[in-house]
A and B are shown apart, each in its own frame.
Chain A
Amino acid sequence: MLNSKDLLGIKELTEQEILLILDTAAGFKDIIGRDIKKVPTLRGKTTVNLFFEPSTRTRTSFELAAKRLSTDVVNFSVPTSSVVKGESLLDTVLTVQALGADFIIIRHSSSGAPHLISRKLRASIINAGDGTNEHPTQALLDAFTIKEKKGKIGGLDIAIVGDIAHSRVAKSNIYCLTKLGANVRLIGPPTLIPKEIEDLGVGVFHNMEDGIRDADVLMMLRIQTERQDKGFFPSTEEYSKNWCLTSDRITLVKDNAIVMHPGPMNRGIEIVSEIADGPRSVILEQVTNGIAVRMAVMYLLAGVKR
Chain B
Amino acid sequence: MNEDDVYDDLKNAEKEAEIALIENPILNDVIGDLMMLDDESDKTRREKILNLLEKRSDLDEI
Question: Do A and B interact with each other, yes or no?
Answer: no
List the interface of chain A (C-beta within 8 A of B).
none
